Amino acid sequence: MLDLQSEDAPLTLCPNGKASSECAHCKVRALSLCSALEPDELEAMDKLARHVSFDRHQTLFSQGEDAESVYNITAGSVRLFKLLPDGRRQIVGFALPGDFLGLSLSERNAFSAETLSATSACQFPRAAFSDLLDAKPHLLRRLHDMAGHELSLAQDQMVILGRRTAEEKVASFLVGLRKRWARIDGSTVRAPLPMSRLDIGDYLGLTVETVSRMMTKLAREKAIVITPDGVRLLDPARLEALAET
């Protein structure tokens, strides 16, 4: 997942189908693929794009299917996961506003994507988008840099999954998520949690119960406050110490 964002648009970037004016209001332009593009690149992307909306718990695409589209998330939140034949699930990431789905441009989806909340996105046909990349090297370079960032995050997640305790996992998750929200809505201590405890567990390689226990523990120790919609970080220093690389 990579971020894009804006407040109110100096120039239209994020394309959409019905009204290209929507780009002008795109909340997530500055940090997205759309940022820092040349006018001709924006123009070309605009032509390809279709703005789509999803309710809570809808499927964008499924693991193993032909990858028809790539997406730029403009609002909401999405869980990306892989299933084992016996039902075990690993969430490989959460997509937030500004994130791009389909960086690897593979023919088949390597994972499934389901919305966690009502979600909006710019949808592009994969094949046409791939062709566009070949025509616009600067756009490709931007995408590649995003892929590099994504790869780096994936390696960080390997450390968390392979070598951290349950408490450290939860602390890392909260700190990392708050940083991502900070880029999106500027919040400094709030971290909304659109995903369930079960989702968090499947992201961190833990059970629901362990996630709940660690959250309770961190709250008891006054490192966080649990709110209806997520958490508030009371003692970022303590959390960062638990999460530190």
Partner DNA sequence: CGTTGGGTTGATCGACCTCAATAAAAGTGG
Partner DNA sequence: CCACTTTTATTGAGGTCGATCAACCCAACG
Confirm or reject binding of residue 235 to DNA (CB under 7 A). Answer: no
Confirm or reject binding of residue 118 to DNA (CB under 7 A). Answer: no
| Residue 238 host element (H or E) | helix 236-243
Confirm or reject binding of residue 92 to a copy of itself (CB under 8 A). Answer: yes
CA 1, CA 153: separation in Å to the nearest integer? 9
Among 81, 75, 83, residue whose Cα is nearest residue 196: 81
Q: Of 82, 161, 207, 234, which lies in the binding site for DNA, with binding defined by CB under 7 A?
A: 207
Confirm or reject binding of residue 237 to a copy of itself (CB under 8 A). Answer: no
Tokens of 232: 């508030």
CB of 197 to DNA, least distance (A): 3
Site for a copy of itself in 60-79 (CB under 8 A): none
Concatenating the DSSP letter of every residue in 114-128 gives: EESS-EEEEEEEHHH
CB of 204 to a copy of itself, least distance (A): 7
Confirm or reject binding of residue 59 to DNA (CB under 7 A). Answer: no
CA 35, CA 173: separation in Å to the nearest integer? 27
Confirm or reject binding of residue 226 to DNA (CB under 7 A). Answer: yes
Confirm or reject binding of residue 87 to DNA (CB under 7 A). Answer: no
Concatenating the DSSP letter of every residue in 129-194 gives: HHHHHHH-HHHHHHHHHHHHHHHHHHHHHHHHHHH--HHHHHHHHHHHHHHHHHHHH--SSEEE--
Q: Of 216, 221, 222, 241, which lies in the binding site for DNA, with binding defined by CB under 7 A?
A: 216
Confirm or reject binding of residue 206 to DNA (CB under 7 A). Answer: yes
Footprint on this chain of a copy of itself (rule: CB under 8 A)? 82, 84-85, 88-90, 92, 103-106, 110-111, 133-134, 137, 140-141, 143-145, 147-152, 154-159, 161-164, 202-205, 244-245
